Amino acid sequence: MKKTELMYEGKAKKVFATDNDGLVIVSYKDDATAFNGLKKGTILGKGAINNRVTNYLMKMLSEKGIPTHFIEEINDRETVVKKVSIIPLEVIVRNIAAGSLSKRLGLDEGVKLSRPVLEFCYKDDALGDPMVNRYHILAMNYCTEQELDLISEYSLKINRILGDYLKDCNIELIDFKLEFGKTVDGEIVLADEISPDTCRFWDTVTGEKLDKDRFRRDLGGVEDAYQEILKRLLGE
Ligand code: ADP
Ligand code: UDP
């Protein structure tokens, strides 16, 4: 597998074309941003940790019946994945109130929701990823109704599998963001990443935050928190 040209450079990853038309290589960076790019910084070692954590969790999910874009980790920060056209939605699943939900509904962070909440945001940095509902998604043709149903079903299933899995590592899955894409064969698969950048992870005993909120909120110990997630999941 050979990298050819850089197709896209985002805030946290680069995506390279390869000599195989159906595959791309994602390269994880140490760059960190928050608040739609307003806050910028570096989290040393983050790229390698997010790469490894994402691949580990995607493999686990695919064994439990969730199709993913994952193909092969080629080094610490680079992975071969199926090339997809990304469905322009950020799917957010919440179990416990935090972040923007707490603000919007006036809930204390940490309040348990009586059932999981699914939210969709239209992926558009210039618009600040506005929240959209089912009607917007279908009216704007962001995806088809069947695709939306499948994405919703996968997201709730991922929540159950991941939530149970993380509990055994003493990690509470508060909320997280997923992206899905369509492969060249038309299959809907889980894409992008699942990492401390895109999930809220709290220690089940102490409630300590082990995710990007440490960077967003200047809590300190950012690198240690990412390292701790790697250790609890992969044992290193
Ligand atoms: P952002 O675009 O928000 O700055 P990243 O820095 O993480 O985010 O960039 C990675 C980009 O690659 C994202 O736009 C994501 O949707 C896209 N992407 C993720 N997985 C794939 C894939 N398998 N094929 C093509 N693009 C992908
Ligand atoms: N999230 C993400 N990317 C985004 C927005 C949110 O990965 O562009 C994740 C975030 O890490 C959290 C969940 O989605 O785990 C819910 O985020 P929220 O809506 O509370 O927004 P935030 O407080 O991060 O602005």
Give which of 102, 124, 123, 126 is closest to 112, Cα–Cα: 102
Question: Which ligand places an atom closest to the C-alpha of 98?
Answer: 2
What b-and-e string marks burial along 168-199, b requiring 16 or more CB atoms within 10 Å of the CB? eeebbbbbbbbbbbbbeeeebbbbbbbbbbbb
Contacts of 58 (CB under 8 A, 6+ apart): 68, 69, 70, 190, 194
Residue 24 has pLDDT above 90, yes or no: yes
Residue 217 has pLDDT above 90, yes or no: yes
Across the chain, what does the average pLDDT equal?
98
**pLDDT tens digit sequence for 72-126:** 999 999 999 999 999 999 999 999 999 999 999 999 999 999 999 999 999 999 9
What's the CA gap between 63 and 33, in Å, rounded? 32
Residue type, 74: I
Residue among 11, 92, 121, 222 whose CB has most ligand 2 atoms within 8 A, to mutate: 92
Instruction: Tell which atom from ligand 2 comes closest to the C-alpha of 98.
Output: 20
Sorting pLDDT into bands at 50, 70 and 90, what band is 1?
confident
Atom 19, ligand 2: which residue's CA is nearest? 100
**In the chain, % of residues over pLDDT 90:** 98
Beta strands in 87-209 (DSSP E): 89-96, 112-122, 131-132, 171-183, 188-191, 199-203
Residue for token pair 């809907």: 188
**pLDDT tens digit sequence for 134-145:** 999 999 999 999
Q: In whole angstroms, what separates CA 86 from the centre of its chain? A: 13
Q: Give distance in angstroms: CA of 2 to centre of ligand 2.
A: 33
**pLDDT tens digit sequence for 37-73:** 899 999 999 999 999 999 999 999 999 999 999 999 9
Residue for token pair 């992870």: 201
CA dihedral 78, 80, 81, 84 (to 10 degrees): 90
What is the reported pLDDT for 176? 99
**In the chain, % of residues over pLDDT 70:** 100
What is the reported pLDDT for 236? 81
Give the N- to C-terminal CA distance of the chain in Å, as an integer: 28
Q: Give distance in angstroms: CA of 17 to centre of ligand 2.
A: 28
